[in-house]
Amino acid sequence: MADKRVDLSWDEWDELNDPRPDQNEFDQVVENALSRRGFLSGLVAFGSGAAVMGTGALLSSTAEAATTSRFAFKPIEIATDATVHVPEGYTWDILTRWGDPLFSDAPEFSHETGGDIASDRIFGENTDGMELYEVGDKQLIAVNHEYVNPKINLPKNEDGVPTSAAEVRKLQNLQGVSVMEVEESEGGWKVVQDSAYNRRIHQNTPMRIAGPAAGHDLLKTDADPAGIEVLGTMNNCGSGKTPWGTYLTCEENFNGYFGSTDETAELPAAFSRYGIKAESRYSYEKFDPRYDLSKNPNEPNRFGYIVEIDPTDPESKPVKRTALGRFKHENAAVVIAKDGRIVVYLGDDERGEFLYRYVSNGVYQPGGDTENLLNEGTLYVAKFYDDGKGRWLPLTPETTGMDAVEICIHTRMAASAAGGTTMDRPEWVATNPIAVEAYCALTNNRNRGVKPNAGGDDTSVNAANPREANNYGQIVRWTPVEENHAADTFDWDLYVMAGNPNVHGDEYAGSANVHPGNMFNSPDGMAFDTAGLLWIQTDGNFKNEGDFEGQGNNQMLVGDPVTGEIVRFMTVPYGAEVTGICWSSDRRSLFVGVQHPAAPFPDGEGKLARSAVIVVKREDGGLLG
């Protein structure tokens, strides 16, 4: 029987598994939402409305900003084609693609079989977050492989559904993380095959569990009765980099990997908040009992964490840091607070879920022991008030009614109990290196004002998430008081509301810094460069019609935090999202991820579409930020 699950995007799959609430509850939510829409009627009102009453409103208009532009390039037009575009004076090239050998004993990629069963020796699929590290004069990139497309990895199987343990293993091996040495020569950048640093970390790599939840009953399984070691990491989305040079990989949609071979098996109540159901997305449970909820109901409790990896030591064991909470982690933006404590900003990418912050108990000392900086600390959930003020609400036994370990494992429930603000799918957080401020991409949320989140929390429009059925997304930013990221209060405003001024004349047109020449939808990946410019990557609707007409393929833009100006730098092939960004150590090369192209990219017509890391340079050899 045809199995359509594998054709669905993660969003669509979640929607299928997350039906609407009953009519009474739904009616009430809509009623609440409608009663609050008054303050957002029309573009003019929007520009001065409650949503932006914080600091500096929505910045100056583009016309004003153009006279003081800090951008070194001429913005590009939208595209709807099958390739990559960058501005005049810039070039792009492929660094590596799904299936390219990291080691010379791996076979070359086959467009007939979609890679080989030896898939833990090759670059995995669907590149996502990445960071660059320097070891002496060598450069390493650690990069995530978010998920696999079973249809193109198992092209001989009906709908790509695995039919053996070996096929499951192939899919498992293609996810996780690659660490690879990269090198630039006259012929351009390439991966150094067989480098001693090259490494694949996948769904069967042993990892240590650390922090408050290590050894807890909810983490114990038959294979690991102590609850301290887990095999693998999965659905690795965004990334983070610690001041001590480790890589943070973020486990996002882990729920879809688990299923039950016994449909009558009773599942723990806590599963529903995380979308863990008897029907899986990948059918692993049929051939790998670890993923079978009827046999191993605690296994999902061992995923949904931040994992710390030392990319400079290929023998090192990755560590799951449970103190940073368990949810659908997007990325991990690490910053050192004024007082030396470590602050990590963390988004939970699900409609109506929360934005978090972790603050370490200890202080970072360069060269000192860092083991407990991500083990001992406090998690907070963000509360955005309508007056432009905000507060980090601590998740403690007193505020949540849960013990310290439960807070780490069932973090979503803790955040609901503490009363955080439900958000429009928090994706990446980025902190500005030249100003004490942080930005979070809220990609979109068609459920805003339509239905509550999976925990029943009200998701009526609020000031930071002000549009009902928000299909364009926005970027919220905050400035901690006293320039201290560890402080408990902040001021916030909206940097941009994405929208379409060609189609809409109301709040769906977007904020004043959005115009027909730069419009986009669904901001997702974000990173600041050393000049304090914000690079914004999109993962949205690329159909270029209806609400999205004139927005074209997904794109990467650059924003000036001071003027509000936003300009388009790159477009990617149709179907692809742009995700993952890092710079070479001399900042003259920019690495960017092109994930899940539908176009036959980059190998051309008749070939399989392959996710890829590309490298962008200036023709004059200049800096890219």
Q: Measuring CA to CA, which residue among 469, 466, 467, 475 is closest to residue 443?
A: 475
Q: Which of 406, 539, 560, 565 binds Ca ion (CB under 5 A)?
A: 539
292 binds ligand FEO (CB under 6 A): no
353 binds ligand FEO (CB under 6 A): no
Measured distance CA(8)–CA(256) in Å, rounded: 12
Which CB sits closer to ligand FEO, 406 or 427?
A: 427
Q: Which of 167, 288, 348, 427 binds ligand FEO (CB under 6 A)?
A: 427
3-state secondary structure of 593: strand
Which CB sits closer to ligand FEO, 100 or 427?
A: 427
Which CB sits closer to ligand FEO, 219 or 464?
A: 464
Q: Say if residues 553 and 578 touch (Cβ distance below 8 Å).
A: no
Measured distance CA(166)–CA(157) in Å, rounded: 13
Rounded least distance, CB 144 to Ca ion, Å: 10
Quote the tokens at residue 606: 């008749």
Which CB sits closer to ligand FEO, 390 or 593?
A: 593
Rounded least distance, CB 522 to ligand FEO, Å: 10
The conformation of residue 441, written as its DSSP 8-state character, comes to E
14 binds ligand FEO (CB under 6 A): no
299 binds ligand FEO (CB under 6 A): no
Which CB sits closer to ligand FEO, 139 or 554?
A: 554
Binds 507: which of ligand FEO, Ca ion, none (CB < 5-8 Å by kind): none
Total residues contacting ligand FEO (rule CB under 6 A)? 6
Rounded least distance, CB 443 to Ca ion, Å: 5
Q: Which of 78, 174, 237, 343 binds ligand FEO (CB under 6 A)?
A: 237
Rounded least distance, CB 190 to ligand FEO, Å: 27
In sequence order, the β-bridge partners of residue 470 are 445
Of 185-193, 241-249, 396-404, 536-544, which segment contacts Ca ion by CB under 5 A? 536-544
Measured distance CA(317)–CA(308) in Å, rounded: 9
Rounded least distance, CB 537 to ligand FEO, Å: 11
In the chain the first and final C-alpha atoms are separated, in Å, by: 51
Rounded least distance, CB 237 to ligand FEO, Å: 3
Which CB sits closer to ligand FEO, 417 or 581?
A: 581
CA torsion through residues 487, 335, 588, 521, sign? negative
Which CB sits closer to Ca ion, 326 or 596?
A: 596
Rounded least distance, CB 7 to ligand FEO, Å: 18
Which CB sits closer to ligand FEO, 6 or 487?
A: 6
Q: Which of 299, 524, 560, 565 binds Ca ion (CB under 5 A)?
A: 524
Rounded least distance, CB 330 to ligand FEO, Å: 5
Measured distance CA(301)–CA(402) in Å, rounded: 16
348 binds Ca ion (CB under 5 A): no
Query: Phi/psi zone of residue 56: left (φ > 0), alpha (ψ -120 to 50 degrees), beta?
Result: left
Quote the tokens at residue 205: 């790599």
Q: Which of 125, 285, 308, 330 binds ligand FEO (CB under 6 A)?
A: 330
146 binds ligand FEO (CB under 6 A): yes
Show Cβ contacts of residue 179 under 8 Å, excluding neighbours closer than 6 positions. 140, 141, 142, 143, 197, 198, 199, 200, 201, 247, 309, 311, 314
Show Cβ contacts of residue 546 under 8 Å, excluding neighbours closer than 6 positions. 503
Helices (H), 395-496: 397-400, 404-409, 411-418
Total residues contacting Ca ion (rule CB under 5 A)? 3
Q: Report the amino acid identity of residue 175.
A: Q
Show Cβ contacts of residue 172 under 8 Å, excluding neighbours closer than 6 positions. 202, 203, 204, 232, 284, 288
Q: Find the helix or strand (DSSP H, E) in which 236 lies.
A: strand 236-241
348 binds ligand FEO (CB under 6 A): no
Binds 292: which of Ca ion, ligand FEO, none (CB < 5-8 Å by kind): none
Q: Residues 216-255: x/- map of binding to Ca ion (CB under 5 A)? A: ----------------------------------------
Chain centroid offset of residue 562 CA: 25
Q: Residues 425-464: x/- map of binding to Ca ion (CB under 5 A)? A: --x-------------------------------------
Neighbour tally for 607: CB within 10 Å? 12
Helices (H), 317-383: none
Which CB sits closer to Ca ion, 273 or 351?
A: 351
Q: Report the amino acid identity of residue 566.
A: I
Count CA atoms within 13 Å of residue 190 on its CB side: 12
Q: In the sheet that 589-595 helps form, which strands lie side by side, from edge to edge?
A: 90-97, 612-618, 589-595, 577-583
Which CB sits closer to ligand FEO, 173 or 235?
A: 235
Rounded least distance, CB 469 to Ca ion, Å: 17
Q: Residues 83-122: x/- map of binding to ligand FEO (CB under 6 A)? A: ----------------------------------------
Rounded least distance, CB 10 to Ca ion, Å: 8
Which CB sits closer to Ca ion, 227 or 559?
A: 559
Q: Say if residues 133 and 311 touch (Cβ distance below 8 Å).
A: yes
Nearest-10 Cα torsion for 197, 200, 204, 209:
50
3-state secondary structure labels for all residues of 219-275: HCCCCCCCCCEEECCCCEEEEEECCCCCEEEEECCHHHHCECCCCCCCCCCCHHHHC
Neighbour tally for 416: CB within 10 Å? 22
349 binds ligand FEO (CB under 6 A): yes
Footprint of ligand FEO (CB under 6 A): 146, 237, 252, 330, 349, 427
Binding site for Ca ion (CB under 5 A): 427, 524, 539
